[in-house]
Amino acid sequence: MGSSHGVGARAVHFVGSFPADGTGVAMRAMLDRAGPRLRTLPTGETRRYEFYIQPILADLVSQGVLEVKKPGGWRSSRDRTIHRVPRGAELTGAMMDLGYLRETEEALPIFERLRHEHELPDLALQIGMPTDFTLAFIAMGVSGARTYRKAFTDATVREMTTIREAVGDDVVLQLEATAELILMAKTQPFHRLADAAFGLGKGIATLAASAPAGTRVGVHLCLGSLHNKARATLRDARPLVDLANSIVRQWPPGRTLEYLHGPFAAGDIPPSTKAEFYAPLERLALGEGTDFYAGLVHDSPTEAQQLRTLHLLERALGRSVDGVASACGLGRRPRAVAEALMARADTLAVAAASDE
């Protein structure tokens, strides 16, 4: 699959966030580093890179859509602020501006200029957005997510639709499933029951089905990275594989699943070096045309150790991965670390291909 892109190496994938002072700085830094190995270029999410969803929720509070129920310091995901609907109000998607369209409109002319400068006509703009379930869960907790998820769904679908109408085939919408994979990881070995009870894979597929026909979609499975600390860790790759397969089984026709990105590190925890951790990848069943990006790039191991880990993962998978990536966005790291991780990803992509 990966070789069909014709750059002689695995792709490099950037999840989305990047520590920079502005969108243009972030996008240029990522493109200058990875160049033709990038298939999508994120915006850098510079307005929201440090605390991810928190700025979106703060906007909803300022819009009068939500109010603070329990203040939090955002020192960890447990310490997050929990919100509620103001007394006497009804929460609907029409009331909510999540900001993705504004981010797209700012990034689009920058993207078009950079794509032209780098002579990469097939490069797509990548817009990351948490799934409706993740957004509702982080905003309002379990009970609030159950009660008000539809409003978050409707608001997300409206933004997906307007972005698709504005950019067309040149955009890939990355659905970011953080709460979904964390629930799977925390309930292992009963994670399939969690998938069924909460409709985790089905919910992601249903959200994609609500986008306009022809929309290009990527899925980023995530374990969180607030302050470079994950919310959960995987005992092995089974929850990731089972959630991915659940998504693919229920994927809607007419929407392209461009890629699935899975994390094999977790915040400051490097990827496993044990073969049994990766063994479940043998069951990964992505459809034809869907790339698999391995989120194993990390700053703790040496380059040689990372390369051995990549080969271990690929032996379990039974083929080469289509791209390499960090486990999450680079925005929660200092700029120097982000630069080093970009260089590590680029080196691994080339070195791994040259070893074949």
Q: pLDDT tens for residues 241-292?
A: 999 999 999 999 999 999 999 999 888 888 999 999 999 999 999 988 999 9
pLDDT at 49 over 60: no
Please give the residue that has the higher pLDDT: either 46 or 126.
Answer: 126
pLDDT at 47: 83
Residues 207, 212, 218: CA angle, nearest 5 degrees: 55
Q: Give the model's confidence band at 9: pLDDT under 50 very low, under 70 low, under 90 confident, else very high.
A: confident
The rounded distance, in Å, linking the Cα atoms of 335 and 202 is: 37
Strand arrangement of the beta sheet that strand 216-221 belongs to:
11-13, 323-326, 291-297, 256-263, 216-221, 171-177, 124-130, 40-42
| Packing angle, helices 303-317 and 335-354, rounded to 10 | 50
In this model, does residue 50 exceed pLDDT 80? no
Structure token pair of residue 286: 């992505």
The answer to whether 289 touches 297, Cβ cutoff 8 Å, is no
Residue 73 lies inside a defined structural domain of this protein: no
Number of domains in the chain: 1
* Mean per-residue pLDDT, 145-170: 96
Q: What is the mean pLDDT of the chain?
A: 91
Query: What's residue 4's pLDDT?
Result: 41
The CATH number assigned to the domain holding 207 equals 3.20.20.210
Tell how far CA 293 is from the center of its chain.
Answer: 11
Q: Is residue 61 part of a domain?
A: no
Q: Is residue 316 part of a domain?
A: yes
DSSP 13-53: E--SB---SSHHHHHHHHHHHHGGGBSEEE-B-TTTTTTTT
The answer as to whether 75 is a domain residue is no
pTM as predicted: 0.93
335 burial type by CB count under 10 A (0-12 exposed, 13-18 middle, 19+ buried): middle
At residue 75 the predicted structure's pLDDT band, cuts being 50, 70 and 90, is low
Whether 70 is covered by a domain: the verdict is no
pLDDT of residue 51: 61
In terms of Cβ atoms closer than 10 Å to its own Cβ (0-12, 13-18, 19+), residue 106 is middle
Residue 46 belongs to some domain of the structure: yes
Range of the domain at 108: 2-53+86-354
Does 37 map to a domain? yes
Sequence-distant (6+) residues with CB within 8 A of 194 are 183, 184, 187, 200
| pLDDT above 70 for 356 | no
Residue 297 counted as domain residue: yes
Q: Which two tokens stand for residue 179?
A: 């709460």
